[in-house]
Amino acid sequence: MTLTFEDFKPGHFGTFGPRHITRDEIVAYAREYDPQPMHLDEDAANASMLKGLAGSGWHMCSLMMRMIYDGFLHKSASMGSPGVDQMRWLAPFRPGDDLTLDVEVVEARASQSRPTLGIVKFKFSMLNAKGQTISEMITPIMIGRREAAAGN
């Protein structure tokens, strides 16, 4: 059963994960997209403000996307997103972390210009195993409405 716009009501939606993070994947992403020493090398990272090897913030965004997809977006009528209102990188994520994604619906509104979809604004919080929120993202996603999905 496909989740449509109507299935997203303001309030807590769900918690997904945990997702285990390895040193190899942190370094692999950093080599390709964010080769700053604090994401690649322990000694440089220890000397930085992050005080230890930590993943790129853009890697965090990409991991969040994958957990959103695996958690519920894969079985939804997602039609993409116009952007991100705000992303806060509150604390580093590290090799060995087990990350959990907490999903809250902030608001859901029908699109005036496109009657086949609605816009759901989410707040995604990524927590580590200690329960510390390490990143927080507020973003709208366009999701197809039930009538339109049934007509396909």
Q: How far is the CB of 65 from another protein (least distance, A)?
A: 5
What is d(CA 91, CA 62) in angstroms, rounded to the nearest whole number? 16
Q: How far is the CB of 147 from another protein (least distance, A)?
A: 17
What is d(CA 42, CA 33) in angstroms, rounded to the nearest whole number? 18
Question: With binding defined as CB under 8 A, does residue 34 bind another protein?
Answer: yes
Taking each helix axis from N to C terminus, what angle separates 57-71 and 23-33, rounded to the nearest 10 degrees? Answer: 120
From 7, 58, 100, 102, residue interacting with another protein (rule: CB under 8 A) = 58
Q: How far is the CB of 85 from another protein (least distance, A)?
A: 7
What are the Cα distances from residue 18, in Å, to 2, 71, 107, 122?
23, 11, 26, 19
Question: With binding defined as CB under 8 A, does residue 91 bind another protein?
Answer: no
CA 28 to chain centre: 19
Measured from the CB atom, the residue of 67 and 108 that comes closer to another protein is 67
Chain position carrying tokens 């991991």: 63
Question: With binding defined as CB under 8 A, does residue 57 bind another protein?
Answer: yes
Question: With binding defined as CB under 8 A, does residue 131 bind another protein?
Answer: no
What is d(CA 38, CA 45) in angstroms, rounded to the nearest whole number? 4
Question: With binding defined as CB under 8 A, does residue 79 bind another protein?
Answer: yes
Measured from the CB atom, the residue of 11 and 62 that comes closer to another protein is 62
From 6, 42, 85, 98, residue interacting with another protein (rule: CB under 8 A) = 85
The dihedral of CA 24, 80, 127, 46: what is its sign? positive
Binding site for another protein (CB under 8 A): 29, 32-36, 38, 48-50, 54, 56-58, 61-63, 65-66, 69, 73-74, 78-89, 92, 142
